[in-house]
Amino acid sequence: MPKTRPQMKLSREELTFLRHWMFDETHFQDGPGAAKRLQVAHGATPADLAILIAAAIPDPAKQEVAGKGPPPSATPQWPWSEQTLRARVAEAQAFLGQKQVARSAKVGVADS
């Protein structure tokens, strides 16, 4: 039985946007999609969104499915203010750091 990886909880709007953004990034040759245009308009870096994705959708297979599509049926909306995006990214970084510490402790790396 496969283990489920812990994931950071995001709102439906945040997840919808991120799924659209992954689709847009995968289909960049078709031109910028709505989520990509929103990301650029709000000055968010792809790295910040990738941190949120890593924390909220840790399974690479699920990320691949989101990227290949189809995109969510709902129109992407920018779900963050500048402050809330920074706070969510910091939360995701802390979440990912906690997962790394727990993983290291299981293999005895934390004591070295």
Q: Note the pLDDT tens digit of each residue in 55-96.
A: 999 999 999 999 998 988 989 999 999 999 999 999 999 999
Spatial separation of the C-alpha atoms in residues 103 and 109, rounded to whole Å? 9
Distance (Å, whole) CA 105 – CA 112: 10
Average pLDDT, integer, range 84-111: 74
Q: Report whether pLDDT(110) > 50.
A: no
CB 52 within 8 A of CB 14: yes
Q: What is the per-residue pLDDT across 22-64, written as a single tens digit (0 to 9) for each? A: 999 999 999 999 999 999 999 999 999 999 999 999 999 999 9
Scanning the structure block, which residue is given the tokens 């995109």? 71
pTM: 0.81
pLDDT exceeds cutoff 70 at 1: no
